[in-house]
Structure 1
Amino acid sequence: MWSLGGDAGVSDDYEFVNKFTKHDYELHFLIPKGEPGSQPDIENFHTHTYPNFFKAISNLPTFLRRLLLPFLFNSVVIPRALLLARALKPDFVLGHSHYSTAATFMLRKLRSLPTGVKLFGVMDLVHTQWPRWKYLYKNAEQMLALKFPQDLWIVLDDGTKGREALLRHGVSNEKIHFLPNGINLEWADHACNREKIRKEMRIPRDACVVLFLSRFVPSKRPEAVIRSIPRVLELAEREAIFLFVGGGPLKASSVALAARSKVAEHTRFMGPVPHSRVPDVFCASDIFISTSNLTNMAIPTFEAFVCGVPVVAFDVGDTKKAVKENETGCTVPDGDIEALARAITDLANNEEKRAALGLNAKKYAMENFTSWDERTDKELEIIDSWVRASRATS
């Protein structure tokens, strides 16, 4: 839970737990049994488990998994949650992701508890340009989930236009709390030895380093970056090294694709790195690449801003709100590999432009982004108000 299976960054939940336990909340998390990663030693924090059916169906075709997941989640989690609620008598119940909406609705109805759901973006609900049939097929579970009434919805602004999506699907505006992602703004002052870090990573001192930092999953499209490399090597006036940081189910196939494309010697696949080392990774890099098919306003993009690394991204979702053309970075048409390669090359060949965009990006970050402390303060205020109201009427 804390490292999302050991190959992702610090969980949003970790910051949430730290904030709420420091303000005398006792937190109980209901999570799948046997999830990797250790539970942090935090006072007033407890975990409870339910059978991990996710692993049992992980090898099934996507269509079957989509059919089974809502059924399994509700049939397994709802009874467990009802029993926990009867024993714990919580002041508030917060579900995470759209899968939890039926469970929180049942707790609201059968236990008369105030409930809310926290969405970390709205995924394919952003794709309103799709044909109607495709939109319905891709979003059926989320659209159904939004039909279960809640007292509040906390939606994080990851660039997938969450507020608009919820309003479009019938959630009333007064119940939506649209919050920014939290960012480690202190990284703007991170001191590092770039030459030493590059040496540890086996990166030539004078190479232009292009960074992809993400989970290796289909929505992040790591293969798009790899397919751009041959063209970049053809056009670039200096050596280019592509640094891939992260893990996930597509990592092995990405390494294989780099080998088949004969660009392996120009790539470094580091795997996951501790969150505390991420600023060093940015320090060693010259350009950051984001190729998601949902949004490229995710936390790693914003971390690149804070560290003064210019961004090249596919133009999806609300990406252009932050990645401003030739100001904080560059956007290219979604899925256009040639345009991606040319944008990377343009920055690789122009040190002065890279430096200017990096400075602008850092300035934009410090003026517009929200620290984790500020973000979790907003969540605390939202839930505090419901807890106080609930206690006043009970």
Structure 2
Amino acid sequence: MSGKMPASGHRVRVRDVDVVAPNFKKRLSGVTSTIVQLVPEQAKALPIATLGPGLPDTLPRLRWWQVPGLLRRPANRPFRIWHARRNPEMLAGVVLRDIFRAPVKLVFTSASQREHTRWTRFLIRRMDRVVATSRKTAGYLRVSSRVVMHGIDTGRFSPPSSPGEGAAAVGMASDQRYVGCFGRVRRQKGTDLFVDAMIALLPERPGWSAIIAGQATGPHADFEAELKERVRAAGLAERVLFVGTRTDIPDWYRALSLFIAPQRWEGFGLTPLEAMATGVPVVATDVGAFSEQLEGSGAGALVPVDDLAAMIAAAGRYMDDEVLRSTAARAALAHARGHFPLEGEAQALNALYAELWREASR
């Protein structure tokens, strides 16, 4: 592969960019988070730059006024890779390649686990390569695809050096154990299931408290208010803590002894991997890629979607059995580091790009 590009926000020259990672959504989302984590790792090996709003200035970035430069070949390749992750980004790539005749090849990553619309299928058929983030996702695609599962930054998400350090670092009581549920606060994410599980479990377990980290936006604010009232009515307001959006989320994972992912629907879902990389056992519903993340790991338990009784039973087992919890914690850490390092995802994608370039040289 040609040279690399430092992962910094300095202005880059279009001619030096071999891969463009567009991000056309200003609001933070799972896709945006993937780009933020992945591009710096990819940039260690090849010249890649982002394009679009909603991204930190620390990433290598093209500006909108530089887009006409994409109509010319890069300095060291026969064409660029345009790696889209949403419909508008696929459409922009098709326009660049097929209308403006830009020298680009189109790659699309899909995390969706539902039947695609006709419009989405139309766009996907025009991609040069398609990536699925899980085997389940690949099953919804009607074209050939390659499974490349998301990885996790195991340097950023790592266990505390001592058991009490994690809780103390975020101002929590070191004599309590904490079970967490992190992510946007909304029904789709199952936050209400987590709250109801805690209302059932905590009264008989005075050594445990719960942490909910995440934001309730717009129409979901009333949902969060209702959950807080449920907690207050159960007399648990001091032990089920709503801490809002956190920029220091790895520190909050280090405060946990158990993580619950109660989602009713998910595309991929990184939170179980973030917990496992921190050495925290996981109880997760069977949605998204959770079953594939936990597969053969010994890192926790999978429960049916929307099954509160099963969630309570599984969480209770881990909360009550320190040996089981410790064994699962070690397995979780080993599994995340062995199977889901971020560099592994970056290398797999970079290898896919290299295949496209090699094909052009034959």
Classify the TM-score, shorter chain: 0.7 to 0.9
**Residue type of the partner of 1:327?**
G
Q: Distance in 2 between matches of 1:150 and 1:8?
A: 22
Q: Secondary structure at the match of 2:80?
A: coil
Contact 2:71 2:103 in 1 (8 A): no
**Residue type of the partner of 1:273?**
R
2:239 corresponds to 1:266: yes
Question: Match of 1:14?
Answer: 36
Q: Distance in 1 between matches of 2:220 and 2:227?
A: 11
Q: Identify the match of residue 89 of structure 2 among 100, 111, 116.
A: 100
Percent of paired sites with the same residue: 17
Q: Identify the match of residue 243 of structure 1 among 200, 206, 211.
A: 211
Question: Match of 1:63?
Answer: none
2:108 corresponds to 1:118: yes
Deviation for aligned residue 1:297: 6.0
Question: Match of 1:40?
Answer: 58
Q: Distance in 2 between matches of 1:267 and 1:27?
A: 42
Q: Identify the match of residue 137 of structure 2 among 149, 159, 162.
A: 162
Q: Secondary structure at the match of 1:40?
A: coil
Question: Match of 1:54?
Answer: none
Question: Match of 2:314?
Answer: 343
Please give the residue correspondences for 1:1-394 in structure 2 after superposition, counting only pairs within 5 Å.
5=27, 11-23=33-45, 25=47, 27=49, 29=51, 31-32=52-53, 35=54, 38-40=56-58, 42=60, 45-48=61-64, 85-86=70-71, 91-110=80-99, 111=101, 113-125=103-115, 139-140=116-117, 143-145=120-122, 148-157=125-134, 161-166=136-141, 169=142, 171=143, 173=144, 176-186=145-155, 190-199=159-168, 201-234=170-203, 236-249=204-217, 252-261=221-230, 262=232, 263-274=236-247, 277-295=248-266, 298-323=269-294, 327-369=298-340, 371-390=341-360, 392=361
Contact 2:216 2:224 in 1 (8 A): no
Q: Secondary structure at the match of 1:183?
A: coil
The structure with the largest helix share of the pair is 1
Q: Distance in 2 between matches of 1:184 and 1:354?
A: 23
Q: Secondary structure at the match of 2:175?
A: coil
Q: Secondary structure at the match of 2:294?
A: coil
Q: Secondary structure at the match of 1:211?
A: strand
Deviation for aligned residue 1:368: 2.5
**Residue type of the partner of 1:211?**
G
Deviation for aligned residue 1:188: 7.4
Contact 1:208 1:241 in 2 (8 A): yes
- More deviation, 305-314/278-287: 278-287
Distance 1:2 1:205, change over 3 A: farther
Deviation for aligned residue 1:181: 0.9
Q: Distance in 2 between matches of 1:153 and 1:269?
A: 39
Q: Distance in 1 between matches of 2:50 and 2:336?
A: 34
Q: Secondary structure at the match of 1:282?
A: helix
Contact 2:70 2:102 in 1 (8 A): no
Deviation for aligned residue 1:20: 4.6
Q: Alpha-carbon deviations, 1:160-185, whole Å to 9, x = none?
A: x122221xx2x1x2xx2321211123
Query: With structure 1 as the length reference, what TM-score do the two structures score?
Result: 0.71
Contact 1:297 1:319 in 2 (8 A): yes
Q: Secondary structure at the match of 1:11?
A: helix
Distance 1:216 1:116, change over 3 A: farther
Deviation for aligned residue 1:5: 4.4
Gaps of 5+ in 1: 50-79, 126-138
Gaps of 5+ in 2: 1-22
Deviation for aligned residue 1:321: 3.4
Deviation for aligned residue 1:301: 0.4
Contact 1:306 1:362 in 2 (8 A): yes
**Residue type of the partner of 2:108?**
K
Q: Distance in 1 between matches of 2:24 and 2:315?
A: 33
Q: CA RMSD in A?
A: 3.5
